[in-house]
Amino acid sequence: MNEITITKENFDEEVRNYRGMPVLLDFWAGWCGPCMMLSPIVSEIADEYDGKVKVGKVNVDEQPELAAAFRVESIPLIVVVKDGAITAQCVGLRPKEDIIKMINL
């Protein structure tokens, strides 16, 4: 499974109402250096945990409503959602192992 681009139009279907595996959301922007450094880590997780976690990318510049809904103040922001509820989140560049622990696989 590749990363899914999450927008306000597909958020309910892909995240809020999704039941089953956890959803890892990466809130990012193209001008954010740490976001660009985190992006390949998020891609690796999407590939390695295919079928165990859904990975979504939210561009905060293109999706200001979602950024506001999640009260994004700093990026990158990683949020894990399970059955419509936030179960974990962290701000900033993190090692892959820390993000995997957040998913609780």
Instruction: Provide the pLDDT for residue 104.
Output: 78
Which active-site residues does the annotation give? 32, 35
Phi, psi at 82, each rounded to 5°: -130, 125
Instruction: Provide the pLDDT for residue 75.
Output: 97
Average pLDDT, the chain: 94
The domain covering 4-103 belongs, at the CATH homologous superfamily level, to Glutaredoxin (3.40.30.10)
Give the whole-angstrom CA distance, residue 42 versus residue 20. 20
The residues with which 58 forms a beta bridge, in sequence order, are: 27
3-class state of residue 103 by DSSP: helix
**Per-residue pLDDT tens for 53-62?**
999 999 999 9
Collect the ranges in the chain with pLDDT lower than 70: 1, 105
Instruction: Provide the pLDDT for residue 105.
Output: 55
* Cβ atoms of 21 and 53 closer than 8 Å: yes
3-class state of residue 22 by DSSP: coil
